[in-house]
Amino acid sequence: MTIQWFPGHMTRARRQIQDKLKLIDIVIELLDARVPISSRNPMIDEILRDKPRLIVLNKSDLADSRTTEQWIAAFAEQGHACIAVDSSTGTRVNEIPVRARAILHAMIERQIAKGIKPRAVRGLIVGIPNVGKSTLINRLAGRNIAATGDRPGVTKGQQWIKVGTEMELLDTPGILWPKFEDQIVGYRLAMTGAIREQVLNVEDIAFFAVKVLVKRYWPTIAERFGVETPPKDIEDADEIVRVMEDIGRKRGCLISGGRVDLEKTSGIILRELRAGKLGRISLEGPDDL
């Protein structure tokens, strides 16, 4: 299955970001800590060019902490400052303005040397849909300003938002890129809910999810769903379907003739994965680069 989703408002958002860049001091690039590669828009480097950048790994409470530390080290090797946060609980969110000002230290010092009182840092938050931009902004601002939702595409426009007296943030709609060159990226984004389910085949996404989870976190799957027999070969499609059917039986997803309702089973698997009920799971690591 080919996964594509590029609504018209995303084209407009890209154009709006490019128009606002001259007003921006630093870019805060928000990624999903579970899928930092897949949630990183390859168009962003082209759009932002050489703007100073802080990479923020959001939803770190849902990701494997050891893998997240590996990602922070990997980005540091690439010359990017990186911090892991959880915007839903506020964990380490308040460190973002501090880290941003540290990155801009030289610029601020030049202003002081010229006798200019440093103004509030102007930051631009960018990221794909459903990565948690609006939730993060509301945490930073200390009030509900940006619209939030558990589905992609909630933010449609741009707005400046004050964060205390030392930072102003420009929120932007999430931007996906027009074509997934690597379909695995599309599947990973679908697993985490970054793409609307209306454009997906839920069973295909769940099949891919089970294959990944069996490979990386079999004990977790076995415990959560009560599945006792791992697949003999994770590359064998029939074996992955057999695991899905085992999960369906354990959850009572049966239809006439005692057959498993794979669509209903798939929905359960994806909902529990996205809600963190399977534990802290990372779907890709730096070695996947």
In contact, 188 and 284? CB cutoff 8 Å? yes
pLDDT digits (tens, 9 = 90+) for 154-190: 444 567 888 888 899 887 666 666 556 678 888 898 8
pLDDT for 171 equals 72
Query: What pLDDT, in 10s, does the model give residues 194-204?
Result: 877 666 789 99
- Residue 5 sits at the vertex; the CA angle it makes with 184 and 282, to the nearest 5 degrees, is 35
- How confident is residue 151, by pLDDT bands cut at 50, 70 and 90? very low
**Which among 136, 129, 124, 159 is positioned nearest to 52, based on CA atoms?**
124
Evaluate if residue 82 carries a pLDDT over 50: yes
Q: Which domains does the chain have, with CATH numbers?
A: 8-171 (3.40.50.300), 201-288 (1.10.1580.10)
C-alpha separations of 95 from 84, 86, 124, 288 in Å: 10, 12, 16, 28
Spatial separation of the C-alpha atoms in residues 87 and 117, rounded to whole Å: 31
Query: Under a CB-based contact definition with an 8 Å cutoff, are residues 151 and 52 in contact?
Result: no
Name the strand (E) or helix (H) holding 184: helix 183-192
State how far the Cα of 32 lies from the Cα of 187, in Å rounded to an integer. 14
Structure tokens at 28: 């805060």
